[in-house]
Chains A and B, each alone.
Chain A
Amino acid sequence: MLDRGSKDGRFPLQEADLLPLSIGAALLGTGGGGNPYIGMLRSRELMRKGATVDILPLDALPDDAWIGEVGGIGAPVVGVEKIEQGEECYRAMRAVEEVSGKKMSALICAEIGGANSMEPVLTAMQAGLPVLDGDGMGRAFPEVQMTTFFIYGADAAPAAMSDDKGNVVIFRDVKDMYWLERFARDTSVAMGAAAGLAIAPMRMDFVRKTAVPGTMTEALAIGRTVLDARARRKDVVARVIETTGATLFFTGKVTDIERRTEGGFARGEAKIQGSGDWAGSEARIAIQNENLVLWVDGKPVIMVPDLIINLDLETGEPITTEVLRYGQRMATIGLPVHDLMKTPEAMKVVGPQAFGYPDLTFKPLAFGPIHS
């Protein structure tokens, strides 16, 4: 898959990887997660000043190594206006090290989908650490507790947050991950809706069992597929389906988009009128920052935690829920989420019930044939 890695799967991330990584991450954002464009530019700036970062497979480090998890927390739209000072996540990570008394050996993404794909890469370059090839979601989700790490029992404390001004807030004792989400959400608003969050160090043996593996390389491969298909003027959507094993569930045009705010989240619903093979059909998609459920002609066909991804029919550009609008022509594809997100424990946190759909029973998608 990667042509320059050493035998153990370790490889240096290079400037040319940043664009495909950001495109793949945007796609895995399933409509949310914020745009990785700013993070891509920041990474490029650091690399041009000489910073380097290695991506490590999950079996590279010993069981007792400590792994840090960092990410941005706030509103994606604030992220494109109040761009980071640059060391928000780094300061938060150092604070967690100080309070816990544990030195990190590597960092890992909380969520590969969207802007948070880039934060550990940036922090790792600043700290001189490697980044693990995996993450805690395999996609994007709106809340802090929705990672495989928390689902399988990672400590909610100590955690730390930092803002552009250098304020650092430490969460020393936190009852559980839901309390952390609540405190972190309110703190992020006080910090101007853009802050860095670092979570308690996790042991490598725990991470090896609970991380969704290979998602950095997966995002890279998806991004390269999109760029290659565009350059050769091939059908981008078809190529994405071939390389990921996704399934095409609908093509059509957005005929209505309704949005409302509930509990600090963007909720809403999009209606899509079918075209091509789906001419005469109608689909709708429920949204909470990310795409939650796809119904075709009234029947639920994809639902959380599986991935519902809207792509521009012509360019293959992932369409985030914020820019979803009337008249857009798009293809909706479904990608099975990792098995770690389908267990009974995971269903309680990221299943349809957790998102307020008590009547839906999760029916997992199957992978289609994969060509690479």
Chain B
Amino acid sequence: MIRIGIDVGGTNTDAVVMDGMTVLAGVKAPTSQDVMTGVVAALKKVLAAAKMTADRVDVVMIGTTHFTNAVVQRRDLAQTACVRLCLPATASLPPMVDWPEDLRDTIGHHWFLAHGGNEFDGRVISPLDEAELLGIADQIRARGINSVAISAVFSPVSNEFEKQAGEIMARALPGAHITLSADIGRVGLLERENAAIMNACLRDLSRDVVAAFRGALADVGFTGRFYLTQNDGTLMDADFAERFPVLTFASGPTNSMRGAAFLSGVADAIVVDIGGTTTDVGSLQKGFPRQATVAVEVGGVRTNFRMPDVFSIGLGGGSLVVGEGDGLTVGPRSVGYRIVTEALIFGGRTLTTSDIVVADGGAELGDKSKVAHLDPALIRAARDRIAFMLEDCVERARISAEPLPVIVVGGGSILVEGPIAGLHLILPDHFAVANAVGAAIAQVSGEVDRVYSLTDIGREEALNDAKRRATEAAIAAGARPDTIEIVDVEDVPLAYLPGNATRVRVKAVGELHVG
């Protein structure tokens, strides 16, 4: 199977061609304003490097930070209405109550509370009121809004109300984009609703971006299926991604960590991804990034996504080196993508970490004679400072005393001089494009998050039911049934409730079925 992995970052678009488990070629190209031009350039470059024609490629996987950046930068977001099925419960906190004001202003303050929703055990809070929903639809139409998010209390336990309300809205508002919260998030009303609203406000953009990807692929002659990567290192097909752009959030760090695991052949390790401006450090468990346990904010909005637990510091190949001796600092300011004109080795006038490494003989890059004048004491002090920063963040990412290896990836990897924190260092082949490799090897997953009463069915049966549902969800998402593995099982008893009410979360993953 021939596959292409693409990672569209803020600065570079990376691409790799893989034949089975072998990386045939990996390239970097500048990211373009319109997305499509940069992707086309990267695709042409990587196909040429691999001596490959597009018609031989089976499948393309794309990782992108485009949607995260749109929310962070408050651009290209559609006016969006949120309808919550809940009354009389939850009236004390309206939708978007904990959002930053500027983001709320950007998408408008359009929220409605309606009857509906379930109790924790599936009982009905109040029946759905069609007339009420049609009245809300009239208001949404009158305000010219075309994106709607629907949430309901305990929809992860029963999503019937959200589905019914979605159908009523779709009939009343032909052509509107409708997002149901149960399709996106887990228990935790505000966080799940937040994710649904962010998804709804990205729907116009996702249509354009997915069309741009499709156009870029057609431009190089590829007509097969393509996928986008999610924050948990698994895939969604292009049509699904167009409907759920919010699921791409934080897929960048996930892809680089998964790529690092693949390229090094190590499943349990600390991954250090050094870019131009920042270094991301996270830990791999069984080949997947360890996930954050606290609520993760995106653009100031609280979510409960499955996000990798990544720690970032301001250190990269373009970081500024300022001062000397004890006053010497490295980062967090960086020349970023302007490194190719501003660093000393490229004829610029800014001392960067890359200049230090080249002057020390640690890498062949640019013009070494332009850094020949640097004081050896300064070079040593800067390298020590960089080593200290890397060591500090690796120590923070360690989750056991076990001497895990450290895998270094990313374009800024030249900054690493030797072992970090005394741990075995791995610098795999194709380290600079590990994120594109991570996209290429992404798997597909299915997840369930339900509350069971163990008095009725017993723990074993509840877990088996959850595993079966997760497996079905993975197959529905395109996994090959014979490759499916249950990678995560978590059961949390619901405190204070008799009847052994327990929340069970199960995730199944498998290799993508191609053909």
Chain A contact residues, CB within 8 Å of chain B: 32, 38, 41-42, 45, 73-78, 80-86, 142, 164-166, 185-186, 188-189, 192-193, 253, 255, 259-261, 263-267, 273, 275, 279, 289, 314, 317, 322-323, 325, 327-329
Contact = CB atoms under 8 A, between A and B. Distances in A.
B396 A75 contact: no
B203 interface: no
B12 interface: no
Contact of B91 (A74, A80, A85, A142): A85
A261 B499 CA distance: 9
Nearest to B294: A317
Max chain A Cβ within 10 angstroms of own Cβ: one of B123, B190, B491, B496: B496
Nearest to B283: A327
A234 B500 CA distance: 42
B90 A84 contact: yes
B496 A74 contact: yes
A163 B125 CA distance: 11
Interface of B: 88-93, 97-98, 117, 119-120, 123, 125-126, 153-154, 187-190, 290, 293-294, 396, 399-401, 454, 491-503
Nearest to A279: B401
A317 B292 CA distance: 13
B153 to A, nearest CB: 5
Contacts of B501: 75, 193, 261
Contact of B92 (A45, A77, A166, A329): A45
Nearest to B90: A83
B500 A82 contact: no
Nearest to B98: A41
19 contacts: A45-B92, A77-B492, A82-B89, A82-B119, A83-B89, A83-B189, A85-B90, A164-B89, A185-B498, A193-B119, A193-B501, A253-B399, A259-B491, A259-B492, A261-B454, A261-B493, A264-B495, A266-B492, A323-B293
Nearest to B155: A81
Contacts of B401: 273, 275, 279
Given A76-B496, A81-B187, A192-B119, 4 more contacts: A45-B93, A81-B153, A142-B496, A189-B497
Contact of B496 (A45, A86, A188): A188
B93 A253 contact: no
A317 B153 CA distance: 28
Contacts of B498: 185-186, 189, 263-264
Given A75-B496, A76-B495, A80-B189, A42 B399 contact: no
Residue from A42, A73, A85 with most neighbouring chain B CB atoms (10 Å): A85
Contacts of A185: 496, 498
A64 B178 CA distance: 58
B293 A328 contact: yes
Contact of B495 (A38, A42, A289, A329): A289
Contact of A75 (B189, B290, B399, B495): B495
Nearest to A48: B97
Contacts of B454: 261
Given A76-B496, A265-B496, A329-B399, A85 B120 contact: no
B90 A82 contact: yes
B500 to A, nearest CB: 5
Given A75-B495, A317-B294, A322-B495, A192 B93 contact: no
B494 to A, nearest CB: 5
A193 B493 CA distance: 14
B492 A322 contact: yes
A48 B274 CA distance: 44
A81 B125 CA distance: 13
Contacts of B190: 38, 80, 83
Nearest to A84: B92
A86 B91 contact: yes
Contacts, number: 138
Determine the main DSSP class of B at the interface with A: loop
A80 B89 CA distance: 12
Given A253-B399, A322-B495, A81 B189 contact: yes
A211 B126 CA distance: 40
Nearest to A260: B493
A38 B89 contact: no
Nearest to A38: B93
A344 B88 CA distance: 45
Given A77-B492, A266-B495, A327 B120 contact: no
Most buried by B among A86, A273, A289: A86
A329 B395 CA distance: 12
Contacts of B396: 314
A164 B88 contact: yes
Contact of A45 (B97, B125, B399, B500): B97
B188 to A, nearest CB: 5
Contacts of A328: 293
Contacts of B187: 77, 80-81
A261 B502 contact: yes
Contacts of A73: 496
Given A41-B98, A77-B492, A165-B88, A82 B497 contact: no
A7 B354 CA distance: 61
A80 B399 contact: no
Contact of B497 (A81, A85, A193): A193
A327 to B, nearest CB: 4
Contacts of A289: 495-496
A183 to B, nearest CB: 13
Nearest to B455: A261
Contacts of B290: 327
B89 A327 contact: no
Contacts of A260: 493
B120 A192 contact: yes
Given A82-B120, A86-B92, A259 B493 contact: yes
A90 to B, nearest CB: 11
Contacts of B293: 323, 325, 328
A63 to B, nearest CB: 35
B119 A264 contact: no
Contact of A32 (B120, B399, B495, B502): B495
A77 B503 contact: yes
A83 B93 contact: yes
Counting from the closest, the 10 A-B pairs by CB-CB distance are A86-B92, A261-B493, A264-B498, A164-B89, A192-B119, A83-B90, A327-B399, A266-B495, A266-B493, A75-B496
Contacts of A263: 498
Contacts of B491: 259
